[in-house]
């Protein structure tokens, strides 16, 4: 479990599917998300030792059975508030690219790489880059393919 601000409601259509992001997000929720303020409570997870500042972003537990061995290497390190995938596309890159960035991070982890990721993260937050893809602020669910 990680601690985050909730920036969208859980409204569903008549069939039970979540409504599109733009119908579930308030203006304040979008602003909080675009400024990455929803990530701030995760520092509590860092303080108690469940997360790192830099590392592969935590994903839903329901995805665990879908990972292949390459994708599963992301679990060899603690999850992070920011990651190599975050600074190289955030929500705008494919799942394959995200897992490749996670693999590269785990294989080449270093103090210097963490500093570079933190610097790039700061720039992404300032530029509000990569949060929204079209009208979507979330990524499509991972289906293991």
Is 38 inside any structural domain?
Answer: no
Question: Does residue 119 carry a pLDDT above 90?
Answer: yes
Question: How many structural domains comprise the chain?
Answer: 1
- Can you tell me the mean pLDDT for 113-129? 88
Chain segment 19-56, per-residue pLDDT in tens: 887 788 888 888 887 777 888 888 999 999 999 999 99
Is 24 inside any structural domain?
Answer: no
C-alpha span between 120 and 90 (Å, rounded): 12
Is 61 inside any structural domain?
Answer: yes
Is 19 inside any structural domain?
Answer: no
Is 23 inside any structural domain?
Answer: no
Is 65 inside any structural domain?
Answer: yes
Is 118 inside any structural domain?
Answer: yes
- State the pLDDT at residue 2: 77
Q: Give residue 5's Cα distance to chain centre.
A: 13
> What's the domain range around 108?
49-127
Residues 6+ apart with CB under 8 A from 100: none
> What tokens does 122 get?
């700061």
């Amino acid at each position: 479990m990680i601690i985050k601000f909730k920036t969208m409601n859980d409204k569903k259509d008549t069939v039970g599917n979540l409504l599109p992001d733009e119908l579930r997000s308030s203006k304040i929720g979008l602003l909080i998300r675009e400024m990455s303020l929803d990530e701030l409570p995760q520092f509590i997870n860092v303080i108690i030792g469940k997360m790192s500042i830099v590392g592969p972003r935590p994903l839903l537990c329901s995805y665990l059975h879908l990972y292949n061995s390459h994708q599963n290497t992301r679990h060899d390190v603690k999850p992070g508030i920011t990651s190599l995938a975050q600074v190289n596309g955030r929500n705008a890159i494919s799942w394959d690219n995200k897992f490749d960035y996670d693999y590269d991070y785990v294989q080449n982890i270093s103090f210097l790489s963490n500093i570079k990721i933190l610097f790039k993260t700061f720039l992404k937050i300032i530029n509000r880059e990569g949060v929204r893809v079209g009208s979507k602020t979330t990524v499509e669910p991972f289906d293991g393919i």
